[in-house]
Amino acid sequence: MNKPDSKQVEKQLRAVARAMKYPRTPDVSRTVGVSLMRLHPNRTRLILRAAAITTVILLALALSVPKVRAQLAGFFQVGVIRIFPYQPPTATTFAEVPATATSAKVVSTPIPTVTAATPTADNTPLALRSLAGRTTLEDAQILTGFRIRLPTYPTDLGKPDYVFYQDQIKALVLAWRDPGNSKLVRLSLYEFLSTSIFVNKFEPVIVKETTVNGRHAIWAEGPYLVQVTNGNYESRSIVTGYSLIWEQAGVTYRLETDLPLEEAVKIAESLK
């Protein structure tokens, strides 16, 4: 006996189904809803209201989880720093998006890149030679107009060896020289004072979520590309080490160090 072809059987069944007349499917949900409203109008309204409130609460709780927000938005964000899991377009830049926005928009108009002046001091570590705005801690205090907070851990850290104030993007950079090698940087602390700039990190090797003083923070491991822009200015650099990102009192902090995550959190929480 020959086995019937499955496609032919399916074709015949579909033809038979189209030829049959089915009674109209009643709107069961509407009918039940109307019946409930007639029997128990107040109770039904309370049930519907409770269901709506529950839905809103569940949605709010879901959006309060950073990973959920990141999946919806396409990036992690802490303060003005956004971390994207992909490389940026080569000939475009991200448009101005408020720091509280949940998505990024790409425009086709490139922004000219500004090359910072190179300090003339020969003993300046190579990692800092692309920074402009060399100043002192005392003058930076006047320029920024707010109390500059410094880490008190490790206890031998002391005051920063290098201070830079980036007026175009309202950012302060504090750096400590490696005591064992003056050509290397022990750690650097970036303080972004403005909410009108955007610091985009693209495709870090590792991204972890953590906390600093109970607030959400992000740990990123390089190498990855960093883009800093405010619409008129743009700079790009490659970060090869580790960075801890958090926000406190309206200031976005980025700590760059070769120390592990646990030590970086201790440094961040020691700011006074």
C-alpha 252/C-alpha 246 separation (Å) is 6
| Sign (positive or negative) of CA dihedral 155, 157, 159, 164 | negative
Give one word for 142, left, alpha or beta, with left for phi > 0 and alpha for psi -120 to 50: alpha
Torsion (CA) 50, 51, 57, 62 in degrees, nearest 10: 170
44, 64, 84 — which closes off a domain?
Answer: 64
| Structure tokens, 79 | 């303060």
Judge whether 11 lies within some domain. Answer: no
Q: Does the pLDDT of residue 99 top 50, yes or no?
A: no
**Average pLDDT score over the chain:** 75
pLDDT bracket for residue 147 (50, 70, 90):
confident
Same domain, 96 and 225: yes
Same domain, 142 and 239: yes
DSSP symbols for 81-102:
EEEESSPPPSS-EEPP--TT-S
Beta strands in 130-180 (DSSP E): 134-135, 162-166, 171-178
Q: Please give the model's pTM, rounded to 2 decimal places.
A: 0.64
Judge whether 209 lies within some domain. Answer: yes
C-alpha 266/C-alpha 151 separation (Å) is 9
Which has the closest alpha carbon to 223: 203, 209, 199?
203
Judge whether 167 lies within some domain. Answer: yes
Contact 125, 182 (CB under 8 A): yes
Q: How many domains does the chain have?
A: 2
Same domain, 152 and 263: yes
**If you ran DSSP here, which 8-state letter would residue 271 be given?**
-
C-alpha 23/C-alpha 143 separation (Å) is 79
Please state the rounded mean pLDDT for residues 134-140: 95
Return the H-helix or E-strand segment holding 257: strand 251-257
Contact 245, 253 (CB under 8 A): yes
pLDDT bracket for residue 80 (50, 70, 90):
very high
Return the H-helix or E-strand segment holding 182: strand 181-192
Please state the rounded mean pLDDT for residues 60-80: 60
3-state secondary structure of 34: helix
12, 36, 64 — which closes off a domain?
Answer: 64
Q: What is the pLDDT of residue 72?
A: 44
Q: Does the pLDDT of residue 233 top 60, yes or no?
A: yes
Same domain, 86 and 58: no
Same domain, 79 and 59: no
Same domain, 123 and 228: yes
Considering only residues 108 and 241, tell me which one the structure prediction assigns the higher pLDDT: 241
Instruction: Work out the widest C-alpha separation in the chain, in whole angstroms.
Output: 97
Same domain, 90 and 37: no
Answer whether the bond into residue 223 is a cis peptide, omega within 30°: yes
Least-confidence region, from 45-59, 72-86, 227-241:
45-59
Enclosing domain of residue 247: 75-269
Judge whether 32 lies within some domain. Answer: yes
Q: Does the pLDDT of residue 115 top 60, yes or no?
A: no
